Amino acid sequence: MKAAEDGDPNDAVAMKRSVKAINFGGREEKGKAAAEIKRLARGDGRTRRLLAELGVVPPLVAMLADSKDQLLCRRLAIDALLELASGTFRNKKLMVEAGLLSKLPQLMRDKAFAKDQQLARLLFSVSSLVKTQYPLQSSHFLPFLVGILDDDDETTSDEVKLTSVATLYNLSTKLDNTRPIVASGAVRSLLRVLSTSTSRRRSASEGALATLGNLAASTTGRKAVGSDPSAVDALAEILAWDDEPRCQELATYLLMVVAHRSTSTQRERMSSSARSGTIVPRLLELALLGSPLARKRALKLLQWFKDERRSGVGVHSGPQAGISLRSSNPTMTTTGEGEEEDVEEGRRAVKALVKHSLDRNMELIRRRATGLEGSSGLKSLVAASSSKSLPY
């Protein structure tokens, strides 16, 4: 207590009173004590550590799931814990040891806390323990986080979804957590975040893509991403987000994972998407106008599509060698005339595709030139296109 006495004498008195009330007071006294601890914990790291040493964490955690406590008292307990967790590894560890995560199922059953922003922020803060040697059980977090991401209620704020995605990202940085994250259905939920994003609600998309990228580092994660039927379409849509270069980089990385390391079924979905004309034109634009990393990945994907098409033709070329585009003519034979006509038609198709792509690219360049007048816009675009240490 000496450290507190060295500061404001009033704070030292308030700390003594609050510690006593939170441990031994009635419900009303505990509520007032939680509010006072919240105020004191905002001061500095030394005060936060001292409050935890005086034993305020276990009673605050106990207040969260006590249905007999008033809703306001429980919210004050969350706020106090959030302040105590700020920048202190030891306090977060004490919260987990006091049973914070084991109380989440009870809180989820309470509609008042199932989508609570402050609780989501507290879990995000605690999830940073995964980056240390502390054995944090990710399975406690997952139902709460996935429930928020799957919630279609308009009252669920963008901020609480963004916080939930950020928490999943923290958990995904540890390879041992990949299996429980996949088993929870988080991959489907993250892809759903991408497919339901609008220009106004893209804030969580980069975090969702980065989390999927972490999961794809393992065989289990790659299989989960590759086997989801919505993955290709959701990722292909992001290729057109010209104002989100970082998202484009991550989307092309995940498409490369699907192309090179997924099942034949998912690769066939990609090939079908290419035949329908959705992916390839976007990749061509990205290869010309994207960030350096996005251009590199787009070119690799275009090469993959080219190789896949050549491989697909090669499988059937033997028995169909004598068939040309004019095979309906019974007099047509396997002469050079038919082959030359096929080649010429292919050239015309490629020229038409390139012309269409160039026209779109020029229009895009014009729009970008209009929107990025001044050096500040250019600098922000360059800063957003920084690369990560991914394998592609």
- The DSSP annotation for 225-275 comes to HHH-TTHHHHHHHHTT-TT-HHHHHHHHHHHHHHHHHS-HHHHHHHHHHHH
pTM of the entire structure? 0.75
Q: Measure Cα distances from 190 to 235, 244, 249 in Å.
A: 11, 18, 17
Are 286 and 295 in contact by the 8 Å Cβ rule? The answer is: yes
Instruction: Read off the pLDDT band of 341 (50, 70, 90).
Output: low
pLDDT digit string, tens, across residues 2-34: 444 455 667 788 899 999 999 998 888 999 999
The yes-or-no verdict on residue 261 having pLDDT over 90 is no
CA distance 113 to 249: 36
The rounded Cα 346 to chain-centroid distance in angstroms is: 40
Q: How many CB atoms lie within 10 A of CB 370?
A: 8
pLDDT digit string, tens, across residues 26-85: 888 999 999 999 999 998 889 999 999 999 999 999 998 776 667 888 899 999 999 999
Q: What is the CA radius of gyration of the chain?
A: 28
Q: How many CB atoms lie within 10 A of CB 387?
A: 13
Q: What pLDDT, on the 0 to 100 scale, is given for residue 358? A: 64
Q: What pLDDT, on the 0 to 100 scale, is given for residue 216? A: 92
Q: Measure Cα distances from 192 to 70, 139, 186, 209, 243 in Å.
A: 36, 21, 10, 11, 20
Name the one residue in this structure whose structure tokens are 């090179």.
260
Q: What pLDDT, on the 0 to 100 scale, is given for residue 377? A: 41
Crossing angle (nearest 10°) for helices 186-195 and 219-227: 50
